[in-house]
Copies of this chain bind each other. A is one copy, B any other.
Amino acid sequence: MSERGAAGPGPAAIQVSRIMRPDDANIAGNVHGGTVLKMIEEAGAIISTRHCNSQAGEPCVAALARVERTDFLSPMCIGEVANVSAEITYTSKHSVEVQVNVLSENILTGAKKVTNKATLWYVPLSLKNVNKVVEVPPIQYARKEQEDEGRKRYEEQKLDRLETKQRNGDVIFPVINPEPHTVGYSQSSLIHLVGPSDCTLLGFVHGGVTMKLMDEVAGIVAARHCKTNIVTASVDAINFHEKIKKGSVITISGRMTFTSNKSMEIEVFVDADPFVDEPQERYRAVSAFFTYVSLSKEGRPLPVPQLLTETEEEKRRFEEGKGRYLQTKAKRQAQMQRAAQQ
């Protein structure tokens, strides 16, 4: 099933299918990237929690620690069926790698398209003591190379997680009467009160719920900037450093950092505010970069107005965004060349 997979889908694989409804999509009928991310994470949470409890030991709940960079390969539409399949592809002593594939299926024509391939890392937390990470039962690999490749991916993401700064000092201030296409013009924020259905058995927010809200804010920023139909093109790797407790208020803020000819990069921050019965201060829980494209009615990418940077900070962020953009482009070209040579 997966090139890098364990020995077949087996009992560890999980399948989720759901018809896309109007509320899952924007007014042009394109399913929100956030809806897809939420489904992906739910499948991942089920399969990793199930695996981590598969041997006698301390009961635990798998918490999302990281999502690798994810590309949205083709848009999904209202009425199509999203088929999400997840399997465990690597386990370290304290973490589980889950590979999730999303296929969109037009059940009228039978046409299927790959929409996403995502890789998620989960960490099992004890049901009795949420600060304790329990041990993960090892999986069996069909071939030795699968284990080696998995270990390599594990080491890489571990390094990246250590390096990530949460940009804690970075705050989005409102701007009075901003000019069109400036950063201040499109920046947006949203507040959400964390309810019971947003949370795992441990009483902390599901990573998928957070990602869905992040995509919602990023989408508003993108639409405000280019005033056309926009869709999520990709999400950079996201690290979930801090848990968010039930009853917290989360503020999700987004601002545009970079535009290429046909894409927009939006930085999104999630700040949590325990705010009742908790001595804790507001803290930065997650941050991430979303890339959006603007689509014509025929579904082709449209040119995007250039972001007007004003302050030194904005110019610096624009250059950093450009760096990420060129790096991704180079990586993709290298992959395509490799594929062509095979």
Contact = CB atoms under 8 A, between A and B. Distances in A.
A79 B29 CA distance: 11
Interface stretch (A38-46, A88-96, A161-169, A314-322): A38-46
Give the oligomeric copy count. Answer: 3
Nearest to A189: B15
Interface string A102-142: 00010111100000000000000001000000000000000
A163 B31 CA distance: 43
Nearest to A29: B27
A74 interface: no
Contact of A27 (B18, B61, B247): B247
Contact of A18 (B53, B174, B190): B190
A54 B26 CA distance: 29
B107 A53 contact: yes
A256 interface: no
Contact of A276 (B19, B60, B109): B60
A247 B107 contact: no
Contacts of A23: 21-23, 195-197
A249 B50 contact: yes
B53 A109 contact: yes
Given A9-B174, A59-B108, A108-B127, 9 more contacts: A15-B174, A16-B18, A22-B22, A22-B23, A53-B275, A79-B201, A81-B220, A189-B189, A201-B276
Interface of A: 9, 14-19, 21-23, 26-27, 42-43, 45-46, 49-50, 53-54, 59-61, 78-79, 81, 105, 107-110, 127, 173-174, 176, 180, 188-193, 195-197, 201, 216-217, 219-220, 223-224, 227-229, 246-247, 249, 251, 273, 275-277
